[in-house]
Structure 1
Amino acid sequence: MRPPRKPIHVVSSWVRRQPPKVKAFLAVVTGMVALVLLRAIVHDHDNLYIAAEAVHSIGIAVLIYKLTKEKTCAGLSLKSQELTAIFLAVRLYCSFVMEYDIHTLLDLATLAATLWVIYMIRFKLKSSYMEDKDNFAIYYVVGPCAVLALFIHPSTSHHMINRFFWAFCVYLEAVSVLPQLRVMQNTKIVEPFTAHYVFALGVARFLSCAHWVLQVLDSRGHLLTALGYGLWPSMVLISEIVQTFILADFCYYYVKSVFGGQLVLRLPSGVV
């Protein structure tokens, strides 16, 4: 007699059989339900942004553990780490000249850890770096982000170059994980620590997106006005949503793998 299937397996099998439009609809509904729960549970929604940066830091800590204990950087994208360092450095500069608060300190710590990861991959553990798998051309994202920032940026009273940098780091953050997804797409098998790191990025992106959406709802749209006029306020929200959905598919398979008791995540064709 066959043992009964776990509910998570039943649900995941049903979802997998659905057409792409139904999957997209289910993802949107799940996100909306999560937003409602966060709005009810978290009273100060500004804390969600701090939580997002904290989760990102936890993800970096997982990478540090992997690099120091296992002495390998297999499965990691150096290019994603470099893009992360770029947008963190730019955002850190903007924080110093435009606001300087708790986010500045969190970004400084995360940037320092990211630079250490880059150093380990590029020099100490170079022999295990999968350079042939890390074949995403970063100028495909850096160039368009710079051009977009040149035309769509905040309309605040800050200097033009600062407003450009602000927009550039927002856009670059939204797509910085693409090289890492390409590596996983090329290998199809994701070892545990890399999977934990990417899942942490997904959670951080969702919390950041939830922060902006709930802040807009709390202010009844006035936050968008405070960000400026034109297309910039909408682009901030779109960037947050884009980076959340980029990782949504991976996070689904990660959760499915965890509940299924699998230590190694195997991605089906077409994922990420």
Structure 2
Amino acid sequence: MVQIHIIFVTRFFDLFTRYVSFYNSVTKLVFLGTSIAIVWYMRYHKVVKQTYNKDEETSRHYYLILSCFVLALLIPHKYNTIEVLWSFSIYLEAVAILPQLVLLQRSSSIDNLTGNYVFLLGAYRALYILNWVYRYFAKNKIRWIPWVSDLIQTALNADFFYYYFKSGKNHEKLKLPA
């Protein structure tokens, strides 16, 4: 959950330094506000909080955050603060699903809501690849950091997609191999 805040805050840091348009500014504020609200709700709402088991979560997401930050310092889009933060947010978004996938793999049963959420999240990122392909052909523009990051995130989700479709085809409850 921490990763969501970090991704959007670092990606939209330019909101405070560069004006693009009213639409752009409002969209970034909506993304920030809704992501903060969702994480707050998930963390502090009584019903959702009861489903969280801290003992099952053993991921060390701080290692992911630190690794992505170091990678952003080494391979940013450009060498300035805004672009390093943007690169960091793209790298982090690519691997932010890993703790959730590990937790799902360790759990004995995956409820439909969680399975559908993870599938749709992965499908959204996979479909985003189409955006990069469109930009390449329409504008002859390649930004390697988002391309590679989207491909990595889609590859990380590929195993989950396989078991998601397999369980749907066989009308079984979604279960990942241990």
Q: Same fold (TM over 0.5)?
A: yes
Q: How far, CA to CA, are the matches of 1:91 and 1:84 in structure 2?
A: 11
Label 1:166 to 1:183 Cα distance change in 2 as closer, same or farther (>3 A): same
Are positions 1:236 and 2:166 aligned together?
no
Question: Deviations along 1:2-42, whole A, 9 cap, x unmatched?
Answer: xxxxxxxxxxxxxxxxxxxxxxxxxxxxxxxxxxxxxxxxx
Q: How far, CA to CA, are the matches of 1:104 and 1:208 in structure 2?
A: 21
TM-score where L is the length of structure 1: 0.57
State the partner residue of 1:205.
125
Label 1:105 to 1:243 Cα distance change in 2 as closer, same or farther (>3 A): farther
Deviation of residue 120 (structure 1)?
Answer: 3.0
Label 1:111 to 1:130 Cα distance change in 2 as closer, same or farther (>3 A): farther
Question: Deviations along 1:153-191, whole A, 9 cap, x unmatched?
Answer: 1238xxx11111111111111111111111101104210
Q: Which has the larger radius of gyration?
A: 1
Are positions 1:247 and 2:157 aligned together?
yes
Q: What amino acid sits opposite 1:247 in the alignment?
A: N
Match of 1:124 among 45, 48, 67: 45
Q: What amino acid sits opposite 1:152 in the alignment?
A: I
Gaps of 5+ in 1: 1-80, 225-232
- Size of the aligned set, in residue pairs, is 175
Larger relative CO (CA 8 A, sep 6+): 1 or 2? 1
Identity of aligned residues (%): 30
Q: How far, CA to CA, are the matches of 1:265 and 1:234 in structure 2?
A: 34
Question: What SS does structure 1 have at the residue aligned with 2:12?
Answer: helix
Question: What SS does structure 2 have at the residue aligned with 1:266?
Answer: coil
TM-score where L is the length of structure 2: 0.84
Question: What SS does structure 1 have at the residue aligned with 2:141?
Answer: helix
Q: How far, CA to CA, are the matches of 2:95 and 2:25 in structure 1?
A: 21
Are positions 1:169 and 2:89 aligned together?
yes
Gaps of 5+ in 2: none
State the partner residue of 2:116.
196
Deviating above 6 A after TM superposition, structure 1's stretches of 4 or more consecutive aligned residues are none
Label 1:175 to 1:105 Cα distance change in 2 as closer, same or farther (>3 A): farther
Q: Which moved more, 1:136-145 or 1:248-257?
A: 248-257
Give the aligned CA root-mean-square deviation in angstroms.
2.3
